[in-house]
Structure 1
Amino acid sequence: MKLALIGAVHSTLLTLQKLIQHGMTPHRVYGYEPDDTSQVSGYASLRAPCIEHGVAYTPFRKINAHAEEIAAAGYDLIFVIGLSQLVSEAIIASARMGCIGFHPTCLPKGRGRAPIAWLVLEENVGASTLFLIDREADAGPVFRQVPFAILPEDDAGTIEAKALQALASALDDWLPALKRGEWDPLPQDERLVTEYGRRAPEDGWIDWHRDAREIDRLIKASTRPHPGAFTFSGARRLFIWQSTIETGLAIKGVPGRILKMTSDGRALVQARNGLLWINDYSFGHDAAWQEDGLRVGMRLGYCPENEIHALRRELDLIKGRLGL
């Protein structure tokens, strides 16, 4: 079979490795190369491994701009793995057998965007699912589905690792069958469909008036390789990468207030209900702010009334100096 592979994240790289391992080396790989790779969760360049294995490589920004080229190549099967862009109907129709997609949920449950973040937030069961791409996103019949458990301590990073391990198992099982000519995808049960909506970096904002458990899940869902959950410390944006819920201390404070600090820099913060340890955090890329750190008594986040009052006082001072 004449194969192509499209993508640019860890699952794409794993798929390339498995295709080569099973003697199904792609004819060409199309690798997404954006200006800023930090905005792509789990980005993995495919250029070097393609050079290493002698696979033709084409970089792209918009995959549908290459639709005519892909169609003219006459591929039997196109793997579209780990790509947030929707491929055009022209690309889908150009593959003689079809296009293969990957999704880390138990399809038909969990169709849509940001599945790993949503899985962590809801603590649902995940699954690495290989399916036939159709006009409707994530709705095509399924070839293989390998489930994996999601535990309370899991975060986006550990779930991605579990999804990759399950994807490796799914490919090891399905690719040999595909080589033997087996083609038996099972239609999804439309009665069981659920869908996840898009998540953006600003959705990682922490509201300290929510329960500690909710905040902990948000931090775990937003952590690396995602952009991170965040709050504010004065004018600084504070990214929180790892947290744990405290259940043994009999202490209570104002939501968002830092109540204790440990010698290794961990901070105990009050939520609406419950306490949360901030174990790993950063102030973006500002080295001076990193050194300043956190301290007991600081209040994270904003109190709108206080901020509005402070802004009005500053505005009055500016007006006074201008004689207005």
Structure 2
Amino acid sequence: MKMAFATCVQLGLSCIEEIYRIGGELDLLITLKDEKAKNKSGRIYLDEIAHKNNVPLLKINNINDQEVIETLIDHEIDWLFIIGWSQIAKKAVLETSTKGCIGMHPTLLPVGRGRAAIPWAILKGLKQTGVTMFKLDEGVDTGDIIGQGTIDLDKNTTATELYKKVDDMHITLISKYWDDIVKNSITLTKQDEAKATEWPGRKPEDGEIFNTITMDEADKMVRAVTNPYPGAFYKYGHKTIRIWSAKTDANKGEIKLNDGYLTPIDYEIEG
């Protein structure tokens, strides 16, 4: 069974490292060209691990490029992992690998299809989230499920902590299902469309703190978009406070909110 892996972020690199740690092999690595997505959260480069393991590395602009299809055919790839990749693979790519394509999504699908899964889990105040390994189809996070792992959250969980837990769960799922994938003995479970939800994408400007929001909302915002994300921010005059951690208080603080105050702890002043 010949395997390829496409990624450009840490979650995918962690999976690749785990595959080699457990004695697995990859026949092709695919990533974005060096100049693309330099500011993407968790952006990594695969040159070192490709060289270390003597595996071909293809650098591309888009996962649907004809070059990708031709390279998959040339290497006779059976399974293509596409993990930590924002571009949606189209039918031609999905069908080029003889067995198909496998992805992972940091929610318990069918809940939370779409973008920004880690920030949204915190913003929505979820007590539990997770990671789903699934076979890709033409939809967005709609394919049949291979396996899932759950992650607990509490009222203090930050994006930094959750990203690490999500990373660890990617490693756990790769390790758990690698042999089944190699032996082509995975069991696929269809998603329950009645339970499906979709979360929209988020932009850096969505992290702004306004005086009209509550302490709870401000606290969640700071925790949800701290590292590795762009950070929450508050504007005053011509300056901006970039907030990486903060505390709230009903009676005193530096930034007035609807029902109290927010005081930045770890922050930067811009402008």
Q: So what's the TM-score if we normalise by structure 2?
A: 0.93
| Deviations 1:127-155 (CA, angstroms, capped at 9, x unpaired) | 11100000101000111100001111111
> Which letter does structure 2 place at the counterpart of 1:67?
V
Is the deviation greater in 61-70 or in 207-216?
61-70
Question: What is the one-letter code of the residue matched to 1:106?
Answer: L
Deviations 1:8-35 (A, max 9, x none): 1111101111221233321110112353
Structure 2, unpaired ranges of 5+: none
Find the counterpart in structure 1 of residue 182 from structure 2.
Answer: 179
Match of 2:162 among 145, 159, 176: 159
Shift of 1:220: 1.2
Q: Which amino acid aligns with 2:262?
A: L
Structure 2 match to 1:109: 111
Q: Distance in 1 between matches of 2:222 and 2:38?
A: 18
Identity %: 27
1:71 to partner: Cα distance: 4.2
Equivalent residues of 1:212, 1:272 under 8 A apart: yes
* Aligned counterparts of 2:183 and 2:68: Cα–Cα separation in 1: 29
Partner of residue 257, structure 2? 271
Residue of structure 2 equivalent to 1:10: 10
Which residue identity is paired with 2:102? I
Contact 2:6 2:30 in 1 (8 A): yes
Change in Cα spacing, 1:87 to 1:180, as seen in structure 2 (3 Å) is closer
Comparing 141-150 and 49-58, the one that deviates more:
49-58
Structure with larger Rg? 1
Partner of 2:42: 42
Once residues 281 and 38 of structure 1 are traced to their aligned partners in structure 2, the CA distance between those partners, rounded to angstroms, is 23
What amino acid is aligned across from residue 75 of structure 1 in structure 2?
I
Tell me if structure 2 keeps the 8 A contact 1:67–1:88.
Answer: no
Residue deviations 1:143-171 (CA, integer Å, cap 9, x gap): 11000011111111111101111121111
Q: SS of 2:64's equivalent?
A: helix
Cα distance in 2 for residues equivalent to 1:103 and 1:144:
11
- Among 135, 140, 143, the alignment partner of 2:138 is 135
In structure 1, the gaps of 5 or more residues are: 252-258, 260-267, 290-324
The ranges of structure 1 where at least 4 consecutive aligned residues each deviate by more than 6 angstroms after the TM superposition are none
TM-score for the superposition, normalised by structure 1: 0.78
Displacement of 1:100: 0.3
Query: What residue identity is the alignment partner of 1:118?
Result: W
Q: Choose which of 151, 157, 171 in structure 2 pairs with 1:148.
A: 151
61-70 or 51-60, which deviates more:
61-70
Q: 2:34–2:45: 8 Å Cα contact kept in structure 1?
A: no
Contact 1:141 1:185 in 2 (8 A): yes
- 8 Å contact 1:130–1:142 — kept in the other structure? yes
What's the offset of the Cα at 1:238?
Answer: 2.1
Q: Residues of 1 paired with 2:36 and 2:225: CA distance?
A: 19
Counterparts of 1:63-212 in structure 2, within 5 Å, are: 63-65=63-65, 66-73=67-74, 74-124=76-126, 125-212=128-215
Say which structure is richer in helix: 1
By how many angstroms is 1:80 displaced? 0.1
Contact 1:33 1:59 in 2 (8 A): yes
The answer to whether the 8 Å contact 2:36/2:61 transfers is no
Q: Quick one: distance in 1 between partners of 2:52 and 2:249?
A: 49
Mark the CA change 1:62 to 1:121 in structure 2 (over 3 Å): closer, same or farther: same
Q: Distance in 1 between matches of 2:90 and 2:71?
A: 11
Partner in structure 1 of residue 24 of structure 2: 24
Alpha-carbon separation, structure 1, partners of 2:158 and 2:213: 19
Taking the aligned partners of 1:33 and 1:71, their CA distance within structure 2 comes to: 17
User: What displacement does 1:277 show?
Assistant: 2.2
